[in-house]
A and B are shown apart, each in its own frame.
Chain A
Amino acid sequence: MLGYTVRRILTMIPTLLAISFIIFVIIQLPPGDFLETEIAEMQAQGEAVDPEKIEYLRREYGLDKPFLEQYAVWVFGLVQGDLGFSFEHQLPVNEVIGDRLWLTFVVALATILFTYAVAFPIGIYSAVRQYSVGDYVLTFIGFLGLATPNFLLALVLLYFANLWFGTSIGGLMDPKYVDHPWTWSKVSSILEHLWIPVIVIGTSGTAAMIRRLRANLLDELQKQYVITARAKGLSPLKVLLKYPLRMAINPFIADIGNVLPQLISGAVLVSVVLSLETTGPMLVRALQSQDMYLAGSFLMFEASLVVIGVFISDLALAVLDPRIRLAGGATK
């Protein structure tokens, strides 16, 4: 495993470098830069623009430097934890995003755990008890979850959370804790607010996962090795957990790389509705205003999550299913 882990980490480095270059090219693609957007806005409002001041700011922000030099400075700062300077907020990006990256990560992780914790038992039950009353009821609930728009569920849950539990509307914590140092009461406030976005974002993913797990497991349960294992007298639980379930969850493990960023970028609408202090709404604003380092940092964060997710899923697959496959993708 050590050799495999080292090889995988080494392939991540050029991948992340290539991604960072592409991101930097893309955020520079729109004509002009942040300052030109600012000048246009000021001129539209009838304000005078001092060309010398503009030149000074361009030098100050490093926008007059060649493209590759700007890129090199940005990338070297990234690996040292310096995300650059936000033109719009006139602050280092680290200070602008503050706890947003962490809170986004917490929401995403909690949502993944919620999705797995709910979907796995239900999916297994539905497959093992196919066409039972429980299977029909859970399938119906699953379809409801798939069909309900996230933002609608968010509004409904916000209303009832406030009505029944007195939870403040919107946000990931009580407003008095925003921009305050970390304390236990701030953490408990986050936990009190966290369940709403977790349920809202996780519901549709849970329903989809139940359906896929049920289908995968049904396929596996009908294979001959399962019949043989039963015939040899293995307990039903052991027969289920030892091989069919491991095979059935392979696609989910292979999917971890896509799940992490989808949860973050896919939850932008929910974040706006719930006023969550996550990265989504700020990324949209940064892209609109060409705040290149802020937007670049968010995009790099999401890209890193994809690469890390694929790395985790490859390691998990190596542990769970270290089989060789011959040409054609068939397991031999």
Chain B
Amino acid sequence: MTRYRYPLKSVLGDYLRAAAGLIIALGLLLTGALPWFVAVLFGALTILFGLFALRTVKRQYLEVSLDDQGIATLVRPGDPETSKGRFPSYLAWQELTGMKLRYFGSRRSHKKEGGSGFMQLTLTGRTAGPAGANNRKTTMSFESSLEGFPAIVRRAAEAARKQDINIDATTASNLRPLGIDLNADAGRPRSVSRP
């Protein structure tokens, strides 16, 4: 089993973003009597940056475990050896029902290799609930700043092909730069060379 985490550098960047947004939005909100539309605008921005800060905290302690049977996530604050962890989630590869790989970036980064954009992998599947209960839907989402992101994508793509899951054209297109071609006949996804 291989374990991955978001590197401190990327988490630190997100903390700085959240702090900058909160200081500006909340700071202006607290400056005094604002017209209602300005207050609503900065209120909404404060909530947005607050949510982003919470997500960043969760991401700092997120631990992703990957093996041949499936993928698991756990929020584990503190020492990884002693801490029990919270919010465990598990998805067996044979229960995978959907896979999406999206690229987010400005128009400039869309046209430039190595631009400021990033990729996001979303996996959906069914996880067995408690005895007698129906299977519940599990969704996991990872960004390309996660250590071992290409390995996770590769493993998920392999599982998607084995499960004969429909992969949309956008995902197939985004897989190719990672060297994964879903149209390969069989076996492991084969690499494609860049032009």
Contact = CB atoms under 8 A, between A and B. Distances in A.
Interface of A: 1-11, 13, 79-81, 225, 243, 254, 314, 317-318, 321-332
B52 A3 contact: yes
10 closest A-B pairs by beta carbon, nearest first, are A322-B102, A81-B35, A324-B103, A4-B104, A327-B113, A81-B38, A329-B111, A6-B52, A323-B173, A318-B104
Given A6-B18, A323-B173, A324-B119, 13 more contacts: A1-B104, A9-B21, A10-B17, A11-B106, A13-B24, A81-B35, A225-B169, A243-B169, A322-B170, A329-B111, A332-B176, A332-B177, A332-B195
A233 to B, nearest CB: 16
Interface stretch (B43-51, B72-80, B131-139): B43-51
15 contacts: A6-B18, A7-B17, A10-B17, A10-B20, A81-B34, A81-B38, A323-B110, A323-B173, A324-B173, A325-B110, A326-B113, A326-B177, A326-B194, A332-B173, A332-B177
A321 B34 contact: no
A10 B21 contact: yes
Interface string B103-115: 1111100111100
A323 B38 contact: no
Contact of A2 (B55, B119, B170): B55
A317 B48 contact: no
Given A4-B104, A10-B17, A13-B24, A323 B174 contact: yes
A77 B34 CA distance: 10
B31 A325 contact: no
A3 B51 contact: no
Nearest to A1: B104
Nearest to B178: A324
A13 B42 CA distance: 13
Contact of A3 (B113, B143, B174): B143
Contacts of A5: 48
B118 A3 contact: yes
A79 B104 contact: no
B17 A6 contact: yes
B14 interface: yes
Nearest to B24: A13
B48 A80 contact: no
Interface in B147-195: 169-170, 173-174, 176-177, 194-195
B28 interface: yes
A243 B169 CA distance: 9
B87 interface: no
A1 B119 CA distance: 11
A116 to B, nearest CB: 20
Contacts of A81: 34-35, 37-38
Contacts of B169: 225, 243
Contacts of A11: 106
